[in-house]
Structure 1
């Protein structure tokens, strides 16, 4: 259950009662984006809890349309409390910024470690603009998932694979008129929520200065959202920050180089956070 009665869909992998790792996806994604990582965490003795951020996937849309950081952090807090009151937070892209905001706001003993995946307060404006263009589709939707795939490929400057629509379909919903839409509440990305770079900069850097838990930033070498300057700015706020750069990965680090990411994540956890089994 999220904050204010908003239901949050989760996918739990591993033994109930084991040390929890809460996985927060990026904007426009779903909990299934963490499935392979969840299996690796479970095999290492962790309990992986991947959620659909409010307004995404199977989680409830916000009845009042509130998708600001305060409400998103309250949802993350509810997940930590449901997992026993302490957890590792791992977040990709916007999910990383939510995790950072939560780690800076909550009591230190609730956050065992923090892992940010291609997420820094000082993101690159051009990369964020590219992502935003994907997340704000036509109000009337698409003729088909394949049409959505073609629009996505055009934004990324790539060709459309013949099976791209079929693979995208799980991330879409069909309305009564037969039009296809992304699975998230379109109100989520309204600028009034303050999720953009400049509106959130002071909040996120202030949160970063309060983080005491072991913290890792994993960024993609080819990312157009997070660069070395953004990583350095975050390191200036978190003196104990560790940084890993994954060669050949873009902004979608977990999808681009999942095995490499999982190995880096598990090594970091092994060095900093002991696993506690059920009971």
Structure 2
């Protein structure tokens, strides 16, 4: 992996079992190390704001595109995607770090982190930050996400068209995405139309149904998690609810839960400053950094 300074990150390739992942490292010599795993249909760019702030504060921050997402490779045609592949990719990335990292996992990334932390001993992670995800989730919220992902198979005429559709999907966001912000999220096809970065095969196979079948395994794994855990949920989320949070806290009684009042399922995007502050506080509680240094650095951003 290419190692960059704390202010910028060059994209490099990381080989896994059958393909390469796109990976960025900010502040390669920082401590502690944080490994960010995005949600289904997202990219590493979902973490840019938080990763930049935390790297500037002294942390090693690794972000990546999951297989079939962003600039990472897609599986060969017809091969399909499976949850165990994503989990194995994350495990390989964790083992490639200088020390067991703190995993920051949103949605799908958090589910994978729970499985690995509960099933592998010793845990590949020093701690977990789970971002709006629990072993059981609200089906209606997931269906809304999938409906958006499936809504535009023919793509968009231009970036403004895509920005309009995102604004309709995320009405809580005050500002529309610019063309510069959208470029990493869209690909231009041979027909000149812009389509989302993810491989359509992600939606065509049984991966979504497979994730539902994962729930008993997730619950069993959660009960075996021994590392520190912070669950950050959005008060306006339609994926995580009070019931699923309460159930999770029964499974993992040592976990801490913080609800961010203005956030939906897209916690880091909706409330990045509040999200980053909570991650800072949690990292400090692990005695990873001199008290106050990390917080002071983030507050100066």
Normalising by the residue count of structure 1, what TM-score does the alignment of the two structures yield?
Answer: 0.89
Contact 2:116/2:124, CA 8 A, preserved across alignment: no
Q: Distance in 1 between matches of 2:102 and 2:251?
A: 20
Is the deviation greater in 51-60 or in 199-208? 199-208
2:82 to 35, 48, 68: 68
Is the deviation greater in 228-237 or in 57-66? 57-66
Give the CA deviation at 1:102.
2.0
Is the deviation greater in 253-262 or in 191-200? 191-200
Instruction: Give the aligned partner of residue 142 of structure 1.
Output: 156
Q: Distance in 1 between matches of 2:131 and 2:210?
A: 17
Instruction: Give the aligned partner of residue 261 of structure 1.
Output: 275
Q: Number of matched residues? A: 276
Is the deviation greater in 155-164 or in 62-71? 155-164
Normalising by the residue count of structure 2, what TM-score does the alignment of the two structures yield?
Answer: 0.83
Q: Distance in 2 between matches of 1:40 and 1:172?
A: 25
1:31 to 44, 52, 56: 44
Matched, 1:241 2:241: no
**What SS does the aligned partner of 1:5 have?**
coil
Instruction: Give the aligned partner of residue 221 of structure 1.
Output: 235
Q: Distance in 1 between matches of 2:126 and 2:176?
A: 44
Instruction: Give the aligned partner of residue 9 of structure 1.
Output: 22
Matched, 1:173 2:187: yes
Give the CA deviation at 1:157.
6.2
Q: Distance in 2 between matches of 1:19 and 1:153?
A: 36
- Give structure 1 stretches of 5+ with no counterpart: none
Q: Which has the higher contact order (CA 8 A, sep 6+)?
A: 1
Q: Distance in 2 between matches of 1:159 and 1:245?
A: 18
Give the CA deviation at 1:212.
0.8
Higher-helix-fraction structure: 1
Instruction: Give the aligned partner of residue 20 of structure 1.
Output: 33
Q: Distance in 1 between matches of 2:70 and 2:63?
A: 12
- Give structure 2 stretches of 5+ with no counterpart: 1-13, 291-301
